[in-house]
């Protein structure tokens, strides 16, 4: 039996592209209102690792992309759509990983970050890629998990309209239910921390800042190819760690993997929503939280590879198991991924870097080790949704309904 599939055909959304939202002084970080007042007369230079002092925030050139949290902003529940994966189209020019992808022929260098995960590319401008070459990017991400493109000032300085056009090529753009976004542009998810405030999901009651996750996995159709770049970064620290869920599964015994294929897990957005409702982050919940059941082992629609699909931020329990059984199994899997240096990669940010990853086969976590410096880490994430996760075992029955 194959899992149920969505039936609605996806059309690039336009209803949010001209949305005008106004935030009050309580909706934005300290000094942001003054920064916005002067942002229009400041040209956008390439992102710099050098941070202005808090008193100089009014001169911050990316003030128009600082996080806003309009209290009146609310969205209806997401509806299913049929996802057409761009990576499938690129198989025509590269049916196997042994056949080079044409868009890389112009690259100055293409370097594997680790054998299991990650490729760094220099000399290719993302802003200049054709539609067919964007398809090839999706295919490379499906095969390598994480792609790091350096020297992308053209892409970053192209602005929000170009970023959204880029994202729509890969799927329906997700609007985050709780995070900050630039005023009037809810499809851009922002990460933001400076010496005065943080507007991220961060837990100060833990011994580490690491929170391994795949983005918004509680959605019925979680993200596929995801894009992140920093407009401002600390001089040192603020790296992002990634782990391959394909390799993490492969490191387990065949007998255990066979058992995992029969399981499905609950992914919940409730804790994230309650975090914001408590007044943290920005204090808004613009879409009510959902919980969906996904296979513990999923199959990638392009490569056919199986990957582990649980994460410590959103996966709350294994269906059909007693609490102690579920807790112990999930804790083992979380620990396995978190300690898996064999299949992890650490990405260091430098100005004009753009990182893409396939959220279906990777987990990641920021490293919040730069707090004492007081420097700013400010980034934009573009998050196209993909298919409803496909179970590795075809006999696994899955419901499309939210549990709440």
CB 269 within 8 A of CB 276: no
**pLDDT tens for residues 303-337?**
999 999 999 999 999 999 999 999 999 999 999 99
For residues 193-205, average pLDDT: 79
Confidence of residue 208 (pLDDT cuts 50, 70, 90): confident
Q: What is the helix (H) or strand (E) element at residue 334, kind and residue range?
A: helix 323-338
For residues 60-66, average pLDDT: 94
Q: CATH no. for residue 178?
A: 3.60.130.10
Whether 48 shows a pLDDT value over 70: the answer reads: no
Number of domains in the chain: 1
Cβ contacts of residue 279 below 8 Å, gap of 6+? none
* Proportion of the chain above pLDDT 70, given as a percent: 85
Q: Is there a domain that residue 261 lies in?
A: yes
Report the pLDDT value the prediction gives residue 16, as an integer from 0 to 100.
Answer: 30
Report the pLDDT value the prediction gives residue 279, as an integer from 0 to 100.
Answer: 82
**pLDDT tens for residues 238-289?**
999 999 999 999 999 999 999 999 999 999 999 999 988 888 878 899 999 9
Q: Is there a domain that residue 1 lies in?
A: no
Whether 39 shows a pLDDT value over 60: the answer reads: no
**pLDDT tens for residues 180-190?**
999 999 999 99
Confidence of residue 18 (pLDDT cuts 50, 70, 90): very low
Report the pLDDT value the prediction gives residue 237, as an integer from 0 to 100.
Answer: 95
| Cα–Cα separations (whole angstroms), residue 103 to 86, 113, 137, 138, 281 | 15, 19, 8, 12, 39
Phi/psi of residue 81, nearest 5 degrees: -145, 160
Q: 167 or 53: which carries more pLDDT confidence?
A: 167
Q: Is there a domain that residue 338 lies in?
A: yes
Kindly report the pTM of this predicted structure: 0.86
Report the pLDDT value the prediction gives residue 200, as an integer from 0 to 100.
Answer: 77
Q: Is there a domain that residue 31 lies in?
A: no
For residues 98-121, average pLDDT: 97
Whether 64 shows a pLDDT value over 50: the answer reads: yes
Report the pLDDT value the prediction gives residue 57, as an integer from 0 to 100.
Answer: 59
Confidence of residue 58 (pLDDT cuts 50, 70, 90): low
CB 283 within 8 A of CB 276: yes
Whether 29 shows a pLDDT value over 80: the answer reads: no
Report the pLDDT value the prediction gives residue 21, as an integer from 0 to 100.
Answer: 32
Confidence of residue 195 (pLDDT cuts 50, 70, 90): confident
Q: Is there a domain that residue 188 lies in?
A: yes
Whether 36 shows a pLDDT value over 80: the answer reads: no
Report the helix count and the strand count for the chain, using DSSP H and E. 9, 16
For the record, the structure tokens of 149 come out as 């493109």
- 3-class secondary-structure state, position 268: strand
Greatest mean pLDDT among 44-48, 197-201, 350-354: 350-354
Q: 55 or 276: which carries more pLDDT confidence?
A: 276
Q: How far is CA 335 from the centre of its chain?
A: 21
CB 1 within 8 A of CB 397: yes
Name the β-bridge partners of 225: 358
| Cα–Cα separations (whole angstroms), residue 340 to 209, 212, 244, 397 | 17, 12, 9, 30
Q: Is there a domain that residue 29 lies in?
A: no
Report the pLDDT value the prediction gives residue 378, as an integer from 0 to 100.
Answer: 96
Long-range contact set of residues 203-211: C-beta below 8 Å, sequence gap at least 24: 209/365, 209/366, 209/367, 209/368, 209/369, 210/241, 210/338, 210/365, 210/367, 211/312, 211/313, 211/365
**pLDDT tens for residues 130-160?**
999 999 999 999 999 999 999 999 999 999 9
Confidence of residue 24 (pLDDT cuts 50, 70, 90): very low
Report the pLDDT value the prediction gives residue 26, as an integer from 0 to 100.
Answer: 42
Report the pLDDT value the prediction gives residue 320, as an integer from 0 to 100.
Answer: 97
Q: Is there a domain that residue 233 lies in?
A: yes
Domain enclosing residue 134, as ranges: 85-391
For residues 61-79, average pLDDT: 94
For residues 62-80, average pLDDT: 94
Q: What span, in angstroms and rounded, lies between the C-alpha atoms of 330 and 335? A: 8
Confidence of residue 196 (pLDDT cuts 50, 70, 90): confident
* Proportion of the chain above pLDDT 90, given as a percent: 77
- 3-class secondary-structure state, position 285: coil
Q: Is there a domain that residue 296 lies in?
A: yes
């Amino acid at each position: 039996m194959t899992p149920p599939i969505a039936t609605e055909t996806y059309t690039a959304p336009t209803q949010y592209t001209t949305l005008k939202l106004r935030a009050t002084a309580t909706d934005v970080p300290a000094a942001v209102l003054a920064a916005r007042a002067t942002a229009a007369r400041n040209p956008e230079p390439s992102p710099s690792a050098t941070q202005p002092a808090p008193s100089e925030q009014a001169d911050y050139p990316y003030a128009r992309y600082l996080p806003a949290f309009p209290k009146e902003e609310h969205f209806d529940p997401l509806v299913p759509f049929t996802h057409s994966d761009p990576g499938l189209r690129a198989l025509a020019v590269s049916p196997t990983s042994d056949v080079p992808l044409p868009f890389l022929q112009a690259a100055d260098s293409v370097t594997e970050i680790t054998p299991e995960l990650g490729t760094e590319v220099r000399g290719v401008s993302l802003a200049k890629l054709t539609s067919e070459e964007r398809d090839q990017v999706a295919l490379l991400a499906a095969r390598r998990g994480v792609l790091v493109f350096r020297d992308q000032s053209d892409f970053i300085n192209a602005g929000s309209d170009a970023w959204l056009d880029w994202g729509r090529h890969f799927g329906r753009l997700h609007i985050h239910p709780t995070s900050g976004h630039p005023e009037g542009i809810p499809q851009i998810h922002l990460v933001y921390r400076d010496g005065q405030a943080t507007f991220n999901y961060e837990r100060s009651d833990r011994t580490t800042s690491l929170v391994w996750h795949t983005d918004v996995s509680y959605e019925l159709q979680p993200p596929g190819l995801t894009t992140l770049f920093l407009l401002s970064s600390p001089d040192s620290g603020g790296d992002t760690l990634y782990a391959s869920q394909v390799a993490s599964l492969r490191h387990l015994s065949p007998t255990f993997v066979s058992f995992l294929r029969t399981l499905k897990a609950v992914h919940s957005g409730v804790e994230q929503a309650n975090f914001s409702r408590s007044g943290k982050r920005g204090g808004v919940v613009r879409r009510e939280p959902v919980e969906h059941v996904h296979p513990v082992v999923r199959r990638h629609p392009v490569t056919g590879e199986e990957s582990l699909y649980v994460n410590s931020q959103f996966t709350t329990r294994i269906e059909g198991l007693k609490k102690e059984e579920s807790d112990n199994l999930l804790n083992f899997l979380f620990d396995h991924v978190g300690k898996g240096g064999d299949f992890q990669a650490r990405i260091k940010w430098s100005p004009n870097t753009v990182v893409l990853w396939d959220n279906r086969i990777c987990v990641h976590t920021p490293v919040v080790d730069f707090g004492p410096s007081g420097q700013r880490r400010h980034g934009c994430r573009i998050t196209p949704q993909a298919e409803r996760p496909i179970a590795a075992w075809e006999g696994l029955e899955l419901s499309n309904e939210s549990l709440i």
